[in-house]
Amino acid sequence: MFRLDGKKTAVTGGGSGIGKAVALLFAKQGAEVHVIDLDNEAAETTVREIQDVNAQGKAVARVCDVTSQQQVNDIFGKIGGIEILVNSAGVSHVGNVENTSEADLDRLYNVNVKGVYNCLHAAVPLMKQNKKGAILNLASIANNVGLTDRFAYSMSKGAVYAMTLSVARDYIHEGIRCNCISPARVHTPFVDGFLKKNYPGKEQEMFEKLSKSQPIGRMARPEEIAHLVLYLCSDEASFITGCDYPIDGGFIKLNN
């Protein structure tokens, strides 16, 4: 079950965090993985790790700024015949409406909203040619509940959720499925960097505090998120489209 043999897959943000975990798992399941990332070294590292595990693993590093439609179109034109798209590239921001600057808002919009749009805009026509495709967007619990000091981030992830529903509706008769998932906190390099920058000397204390804010008592591992992504992109999920799946350690429903 959950095999992806020979399926051309594009994973944005595949050089680290959730995107990297998805790329590694999809390659293990037989997909031809195109690791798209702004950081060439990070993308190449993911590809090497795939090939270290399986010499027959098919993986290609693709350097791309998802905020540039021209770059995205060029990359997807080179890939061609794409069957699976995972929009994992994203950035975060801490702040409320008063202390979020115009530059902050533009940065979040350009990566988290326009970046997803650019990839959808490039991938959907390729999927239509073969009358099949699976798209998985990374949303967040921030599009389901109000989070303190996450104004711009919540805005951007709410847009991802809305785009997911729109694409699912518009292309349901083209054989294209589109879903999103809404993770809570996931222990990625971003979290470590955030703690180091904002809480020097108190990293472990704050890590524990953030972990315990989730009812399950810990952050998710990127691999756990990747398992849900795999299911939703596999043929076993062929009857699922237009859905958002929380993967949040009970945060939305149990955090009373």
Proportion of the chain in helix, strand, coil states, percent, rounded to 5: 50, 15, 30
Options 109, 117, 153, 199, the catalytic residue? 153
Instruction: Provide the pLDDT for residue 56.
Output: 77
CB atoms within 10 A of CB 187: 16
Determine contact, residues 61/40, Cβ cutoff 8 Å.
yes
- Give φ, ψ of 148 to 5 degrees: -65, 135
pLDDT beneath 50, residues of the chain: none
Determine whether 231 is an active site residue.
Answer: no
- Enumerate domains of the chain plus CATH numbers: 8-184+221-251 (3.40.50.720), 185-219 (no CATH)
Q: Torsion angle of alpha carbons 218, 20, 198, 253, nearest 10°?
A: -40
Question: Which of 231, 229, 238, 247 lies closest to 20 in space, CA to CA?
Answer: 229
Radius of gyration of the chain (CA): 18
Determine contact, residues 27/46, Cβ cutoff 8 Å.
no
- CA atoms of 86 and 68, how far apart (whole Å): 17
Residues in the chain, total: 256
Tell the residue number behind the tokens 């990359």, with chain if given.
75
**How many Cα neighbours within 13 Å face the side chain of 97?**
2
Q: CA triplet 20, 247, 203: central angle to 5 degrees?
A: 65
Instruction: Provide the pLDDT for residue 197.
Output: 84
- CA atoms of 62 and 12, how far apart (whole Å): 9
Provide the token pair at 108. 């979040």
Determine contact, residues 179/136, Cβ cutoff 8 Å.
yes
Instruction: Provide the pLDDT for residue 256.
Output: 60
Question: Which of 23, 22, 240, 233 lies closest to 127 in space, CA to CA?
Answer: 233
Biggest CA-to-CA distance, the chain: 54
pLDDT in tens, 189-227: 888 888 888 789 999 999 999 899 899 999 999 999 999
- CA atoms of 131 and 222, how far apart (whole Å): 31
Determine contact, residues 178/241, Cβ cutoff 8 Å.
yes
